[in-house]
Amino acid sequence: MVKVIFSVSGMSCGHCKAAVEKALDKLDGVKTVDVNLELGEVTINYDENVVTREQLINTITDAGYSVI
């Protein structure tokens, strides 16, 4: 299990938080997702044998946000 924290721009409300969490939760291998709007951060615990860091970033980007 690996923990990663991404700085994400463009998140400003509860809808943004829910959209990112929902998109990441759909990925196999993602165990937990925590979005902190105040800090603009997304913390993800995931199984690196199932999902890659690049897939996580692409999922956030596809949801309409930018990983900094």
Q: What percent of the chain has pLDDT over 70?
A: 100
pLDDT at 18: 97
- The burial class, CB within 10 Å (0-12 / 13-18 / 19+), for 27 is middle
Greatest C-alpha distance within the chain: 32
Number of neighbouring beta carbons within 10 Å of residue 15:
9
Structure token pair of residue 31: 């165990």
Number of neighbouring beta carbons within 10 Å of residue 10:
14
Q: How far apart are CA 64 and CA 13, in angstroms?
A: 13
pLDDT digits (tens, 9 = 90+) for 40-60: 999 999 999 999 999 999 999
What predicted TM-score, i.e. pTM, was given to this entire model?
0.95
Tell me which fold the domain 2-67 belongs to: Alpha-Beta Plaits (3.30.70)
